Every structure is written in C-alpha cells, then in structure tokens.
Amino acid sequence: MPLIRTNSADIDLLARLMRAEAEGEGELGMMMVGNVGVNRIIANCLDFKGIRSVSDMVYQSPGGFESVTLPYFYQRPRDKDRRLARRVIKGEAYYPATNALWFFRPTGDCPGTWFNQQNTGRYKAHCFYAPTPQDCPRVY
C-alpha cells in the first residue's frame, strides 16, 4: 500500500526532483531525497503543515527545493527515475533519511543540528536531519 496518494504526474514530478537533487549520489542518494519528500507530505508538522501532495511539497515556498529553479529539474524523467520514485512511494526508506524532513550539502562536515533539527547521518555529500518524535510523530 502506498504511503501517499499519487498519480502518474506526481510520480514524474517526484522522479524529476529526486534526479535533480541527487543524481550524483546514485540511486540510493536519489531514493533518500524521495524519502525526505514523502516524509514532508506525511508529516503535517513544523515547516510542513498543510503539505498534502507531491506538488505542494516540491514547490513549497519558502522551504522548498533549490533544484526547481534550475533547468535540469525540468527535463523529462527517465523510466529508471520513475521506478525509484514508485519504490519510495511504496515505503522503501533508507537510513539516514528514514525519518528526515531536511537535507543539505555542506562544504565540510555535517553540523550536529540544522534549523534546530538533529543530524541523523550523512550519505555521500548530503547531510540529513530529522525532527523528534514529539514534534512530528507521523514520520515515525
């Protein structure tokens, strides 16, 4: 059973986001970006209250994703990207993004906290950050 309701346009949009944000991190890195996106839709907490769809999540402003401002984001998704997006929507999640709502690419080490959220780990160039279960129980 999928974690969120989607249609083919949502799958394409999530696939484009995952590719644009983390293609250089490989399939696992792209799936972790997808985990963060799906978590934001499920969460309904902190900066993500009222985010109920893939489109809401991708284009959230402020607080959305930098890649939506770049031409690369607007390329058509590949079949491989769509398959990865479907896996994330079905609930396939990977540490350190399992409960994360944020990620970013620092120039050095991952800070212990980012916007008052705890670092859950690093995958290649991206650091991931999760809320507490008390602040966002739906992502746990």
Q: Does this model's pTM top 0.95?
A: yes
The answer to whether 129 touches 46, Cβ cutoff 8 Å, is no
- State the pLDDT at residue 58: 98
Tokens of 110: 């991952």
**Extents of the domains making up the chain:** 8-139
Amino acid present at 108: G
Spell 42-64 as b/e; 16+ CB within 10 A means b.
Answer: bbebbbbeebeebeebbebeeeb
How does pLDDT run along the chain (140 residues), one tens digit per residue? 899 999 999 999 999 999 999 999 999 999 999 999 999 999 999 999 999 999 999 999 988 899 999 999 999 999 999 999 999 999 999 999 999 999 999 999 999 999 899 999 999 999 999 999 999 999 99
- State the pLDDT at residue 77: 97
DSSP letter, residue 64: S
Cβ count near 106 (within 10 Å): 12
Tell the CATH topology of 8-139.
Arc Repressor Mutant, subunit A (1.10.10)
**CA 25, CA 74: separation in Å to the nearest integer?**
19
